[in-house]
Structure 1
Amino acid sequence: MQLKDQAAIVTGGASGLGAATARKLAAQGAKVAVCDLNTKLAESVAAEIGGVAVVCDVADVASAEAAIATASKAHGPARVLVNCAGIGVAKRVVGRDGPMPLADFDRVIRVNLIGSFNMLRLAAAEMAKLEPLSTGERGVVISTASVAAYDGQIGQSAYSASKGGIVAMTLPIARELAQFGIRVLTIAPGLFLTPLLGGLPQEAQDSLAAAIPFPHRLGQPEEFASLALHMIDNPYLNGEVVRLDAALRMAPR
């Protein structure tokens, strides 16, 4: 799909992987809606790329519906959705204070898994109404999983479950939406230099990078964004989950 003048939505677009993706999409001529709970950062990124900032809680039905409507009013119905919104909470199932509070597990599942599905279902419903492009496509949805979906570490039960759910739903949804010419894909990144890891001391960052086979460094958000752009551009990529991790396989802890 050629991105020039096409409308796109990026959740979690105010920072990290989402902001890098929003910038790459805009550089290709897309009209980007930067969706995030952080209004100030979203407005900053949107101003930088000539897009629109949209406040959105992806796990909330009304908020997500309003975000899709706001983005559509600004740029027209989106042909591209990139789900980057997510949270990570490290907590043991049974810790010093007893069992993990169920609310902690529920929150991660709601934001990462249900939030991704929520935005996907709403965006896909709008894409299905569009006229197909010359390729027969009506849209592309890319979600963000994690290598934790495959080899999650101790303390990552909620995070791994949420990302594993994203991996598992990619193929069946791609098969279902094929009738509309909507492709569905997922990227499973490894250790990337996002604001979360960027806040760690340099020694800790170096230690994490040392475990990565090649190249021996943390991933750059721009590398995630480049893969997202290739997925959008390549019409034969569909129903696939791509690990972007420099051959990393995480240890138990």
Structure 2
Amino acid sequence: MQIEQQAAIVTGGASGLGAATARALAARGAKVAVLDRNADGAAALAREIGADGQAIGIGCDITDTASVLAALDAARAAHGSARLLLNVAGIGTAKRIVGKDGAPAPLEDFERVVRVNLVGTYNVTRLVVAEMVKLAPLADGERGVVVNTASVAAFDGQVGQEAYAASKGGIVGMTLPLARDLAQFGVRVCTIAPGLFLTPLMAELPQAVQESLAASIPFPKRLGKPEEFAQLAAAIIENPALNGEVIRLDGALRLPPR
């Protein structure tokens, strides 16, 4: 699908991979709605990448249906119905199922990560595509494209990553059925599973730790750049043959147990 002039929704768009994706889509001429729990950050990015209403920043909790519907209403009023959905919002955590004190991990921690990463992704997708499938098809029969974000942890979950790996594994697992479900409407669905990327959270780690992590990547021997994630997201949108696929973006990294 051609990106130029299409209305796009990017969740988690105020920073990191989401911000890079929003920038890339805007640079290619899309009308971008930046959704994030950080409403001020979303608005700031929209001002940075948008001109003449090309971008709008909206506060949104992807786990709350009323919040998502309000955000979609605002995005539609600004840009029309979206043909592009980029689900990038997510959180991470690491906690062993049994702590050093012998106590079991709090169930609430597991539920929170799964609710944001997996349920939140499904929630936004169901609400966006319900409108997307009603749009007139383009010349090639397409009505829209959904790009979700998993992680290599879905395949190589490390010690203490039960919640994160389960949430991202769920996104991987629903990619093909979503694509099959929406194929009748001309809506494609793919997922990107990034490895170690230089996000704001990663940048907070000591330089020595960053270098150690980068050294574990076969090639290129550095942390991934957010714009490389965005480049792949754009390529998925533009290539009509990509559907129902999960693409690892990790420099051939396979995570060790620790």
Band the TM-score falls in, shorter-chain normalisation: over 0.9
Gaps of 5+ in 1: none
Superposition map of 1:1-253 within 5 A: 1-50=1-50, 51-97=55-101, 98-253=103-258
For the residue of structure 2 that corresponds to 1:10, the secondary structure is strand
For the residue of structure 1 that corresponds to 2:58, the secondary structure is strand
Normalising by structure 1, what TM-score?
0.99
Which digits, 9 at most, give the CA deviation of each residue in 1:63-108, with x for residues without a partner? 1111111111110000000001000011110103411101000000
For the residue of structure 2 that corresponds to 1:188, the secondary structure is strand
Normalising by structure 2, what TM-score?
0.97
Distance in 1 between residues matched to 2:156 and 2:28, nearest whole Å: 34
For the residue of structure 2 that corresponds to 1:95, the secondary structure is coil
Distance in 1 between residues matched to 2:193 and 2:145, nearest whole Å: 17
Q: CA deviation at 1:41?
A: 1.1
Which digits, 9 at most, give the CA deviation of each residue in 1:195-240, with x for residues without a partner? 1101111100000001000010000000000000000000010000
Distance in 2 between residues matched to 1:248 and 1:135, nearest whole Å: 36
Distance in 2 between residues matched to 1:104 and 1:30, nearest whole Å: 37
Distance in 2 between residues matched to 1:6 and 1:198, nearest whole Å: 32
Distance in 2 between residues matched to 1:238 and 1:116, nearest whole Å: 18
Q: CA deviation at 1:135?
A: 1.1
Partner amino acid, structure 1, of 2:20: A
Distance in 2 between residues matched to 1:188 and 1:4, nearest whole Å: 25
RMSD in angstroms over aligned alpha carbons?
Answer: 0.6
Partner amino acid, structure 2, of 1:153: Q
Q: After the TM superposition, list the runs of 4 or more consecutive aligned residues in structure 1 that deviate by more than 6 angstroms.
A: none
Partner amino acid, structure 1, of 2:49: I
For the residue of structure 2 that corresponds to 1:99, the secondary structure is coil
For the residue of structure 1 that corresponds to 2:44, the secondary structure is helix
